[in-house]
Amino acid sequence: MKIVLLVCYFAGWALIPHLLLLKKRPTATLAWLWAIIFIPIVGALAYLAIGTDRLKRRRLKRRNLFSARSSRQRSPVGSTDEGTNQLLHGLPRRDRQFLQLVSRINQLSVSSAETIRILRNSDAFYPALAARIQAARHHIHVEFYIWEADETGMRFLQLLTDAARRGVVVRLLLDGVGSRAFDEDLLEAFREAGGHFSWFQSLDPRRKRFFLNLRNHRKLQIIDGEIAFVGGMNIGRDYEGLNPELGHWRDVQVEATGPVAAELQDVFADDWFFATDERISAATYFPTPSPAVHHPAHIVHGGPDLRNEPISKTIVSLLNEASDRVWIATGYFVPDDILLAALELAASRGVDVRLLISEKNDHPWLVLVGRSYYTQLLTAGVRIFEYSAGINHAKIALADAQWAMVGSANLDYRSMRLNFELNLLFHSASQNAALASILEHDFALSQEIEMAVFACRPFRQRFIEAALRPLSPLL
């Protein structure tokens, strides 16, 4: 037995060349080397399961092959939509340059929205989504990371089933890891009514996929190609604050109409094709939007198939762009060196940089890892608030008085590099103010971290934080 274990241990070393050739960040490479060498067998198995984080995913030449709209052939910078172009020309030069920058980072064109509505918590989002589902005429596209098999999940499944029965095309896409508790047997009536369902699976040996660790964390809903919801909300009673163990659940979703809804339709179409090989290409899925647009908007998407890490670079660009304030809310906080430096530099030049981090979440070790960065940030002048009135799952970023971003991505390694994520960036003073009001309310419910008090925390806590920090790229 000892010989077998010894052979398995040294066999794990054969993974080291593969790890080096992946050209990960040095911190991640060293963490995995440490795991493979010093945690016999288990480290190698963990690397095989979750360490090979580059998914070979066909993007169909940036979706041109299956999009019905000729505008998909356009350059990723700028816009051919006349209403959007007029809107962009009316912006200050610096704002236009910033949009050009994030457009190049994300390799997607700048778009716009006719309306943007901030939906705070499930008591605003769930009724809004239910009303749009009930009013749908042609199609409903729904994509969630978590869909619970509880009374809330069954209520929304019934809404989708009723829509399918009245002739609406309904597609439901769930992540195989996040929604693992959801049983397909619950979909019998939905499928009989004509509904279409698929798992978004990166672990599927039949299709040569062996990536258990790569998840679709996006929350995206499209109604008739005209209305889109984007944000951090999942479906379940937990997110209604009905779980006494979790308590109050803070989250935010955005409802947008106008040209950006068609752009978000492309995101769903891309994910649906990845999951099913079915192309959503009919022109009826991409209706001509209203020319009355009021808010420049831009899709910020990330995933293991995008090597340039667009979400991370967009957040860093927001920090560099700001001259007055940057307020960020995140469920998990495990920054890399680049993001850490951007936060420090923004605060050091006098920008009001605030972080709202949930003190309570389903991965408590991430809170400990995040705290290992606090001293460095506090020294630079960053203000840190830990939300203690429940769980703050919202992902919000505000820059100055006009820029806002809402979506699914946290400030951690997983969101920046492993998960498929989706944020919506928009230019709107009114919606920036609405989100700022939400954050101000949450700051008041939080405990601000004071340097003098934080420095006096017990040695045991400081040691645990320091010991976990080198494992940040693996969490």
Please report which confidence band the pLDDT of residue 265 belongs to, taking 50, 70 and 90 as the band edges: very high
Determine the longest span between alpha carbons in the chain, in angstroms: 74
Residue 81 and residue 24 in one domain: no
Judge whether 144 lies within some domain. yes
| Nearest to 413, CA basis, from 338, 337, 472 | 472
Question: Do residues 202 and 66 both lie within one domain?
Answer: yes
What pLDDT, on a 0 to 100 scale, did the predictor assign at position 256? Answer: 97
Residue 101 belongs to a domain: no
The CA distance from 89 to 357, in Å, is 37
Residues 6+ apart with CB under 8 A from 114: 257, 258, 259, 289, 290, 292, 293, 294
Q: Exactly one of 217, 295, 313, 427 is catalytic; name it.
A: 217
Query: Do residue 28 and residue 74 come from a single domain?
Result: no
76 pLDDT band (50/70/90 cuts)? Answer: very low
Q: Which domain holds residue 330?
A: 310-474
Which tokens go with 231? 């944000």
Q: Which of 19-28, 190-199, 279-288 has the lowest mean pLDDT?
A: 19-28
Whether 270 and 375 map to the same domain: the answer is: no
Question: Is 70 found in the same domain as 24?
Answer: no
Write the DSSP string, 152-200: HHHHHHHHHHHHHHTT-EEEEEEETTTTTT--GGGGHHHHHTT-EEEEE
Q: Pick from 243, 272, 297: which residue ends a domain?
A: 297
pLDDT at 277 over 80: yes
Q: Which of 224, 270, 412, 442 is catalytic?
A: 224
Q: Helix 310-321 crosses helix 337-348 at what angle (to 10 degrees)?
A: 10
| Assigned domain for 444 exists | yes
In a domain? residue 237 = yes
Kindly tell me if the per-residue pLDDT of 309 is higher than 50: yes
150 - beta bridge partners?
Answer: none
287 and 419 co-located in one domain:
no
Task: Examine residue 102 and state whether it is found in any structural domain, yes or no.
Answer: no
| 28 CB-near residues (< 8 Å, 6+ apart) | 413, 473, 474
Domain boundary among 242, 271, 297: 297
Same domain, 389 and 266: no
Task: Report the 10 Å Cβ neighbour count for 111.
Answer: 28
Indicate which residue of 24, 139, 141, 393 is catalytic: 393
pLDDT digits (tens, 9 = 90+) for 314-336: 999 999 999 999 999 999 999 98
Residue 215 to residue 303: CA distance in whole angstroms: 9
Whether residue 302 is contained in a domain is answered as no
DSSP string, 99-116: HHHHHHHHT---EEESEE
Edge to edge, what strands does the sheet with 111-113 contain?
A: 111-113, 295-302, 421-427, 403-407, 396-399, 325-330, 352-358, 383-387, 446-448
Are 34 and 167 in a shared domain?
no
Write out the two tokens for 327.
């307020």
* Catalytic site includes residue 208: no
Task: Please name every residue paired with 326 in a beta bridge, in sequence order, or none if there are none.
Answer: 353, 399
Q: Does the pLDDT of residue 71 top 80, yes or no?
A: no
CATH number of the domain at 251, please: 3.30.870.10
169-175 and 196-200 as β-strands: parallel, antiparallel, unpaired? parallel
Q: Does 204 share its domain with 258?
A: yes
Is 270 a known active-site residue?
no
**Residues 265, 220: Cα–Cα separation, whole Å:** 9
Query: What pLDDT band is residue 36 in, cutting at 50, 70 and 90?
Result: low
Are residues 379 and 286 part of one domain?
A: no
Specify whether 160 is located in the same domain as 268: yes
In sign, the C-alpha dihedral spanning 120, 124, 130, 135 is negative
Distances in whole angstroms, Cα of residue 201 to Cα of each of 142, 154, 287, 420: 16, 22, 29, 12
Is pLDDT at 165 greater than 90 in this prediction? yes
Token duo for residue 221: 């809903």
Domain count, the chain: 3
37: in domain: yes
3-state helix, strand, coil in the chain (%, to 5): 45, 20, 35
Answer yes or no: is 448 within a domain.
yes
**Catalytic residue, candidates 400, 412, 427, 442:** 400
Q: Is 219 a catalytic residue?
A: yes
End-to-end CA distance of the chain: 32
Q: Which of 298, 395, 412, 442 is catalytic?
A: 395
Q: Are residues 36 and 133 in the same domain?
A: no
Query: Is residue 395 flagged as an active site residue?
Result: yes
Strand partners, 222: 141, 228
Active-site choice (219, 298, 313, 427): 219
Q: pTM for this structure?
A: 0.85
Picking from 35, 118, 63, the residue whose alpha carbon sits closest to that of residue 404 is: 118
The last residue of a domain, from among 297, 325, 358:
297
Give me the torsion for CA of 160, 162, 163, 169, rounded to 10°.
80
* The residue to which tokens 């589902």 are assigned: 133
Reported as a single tens digit per residue, the pLDDT across 284-297 is: 999 988 778 899 99
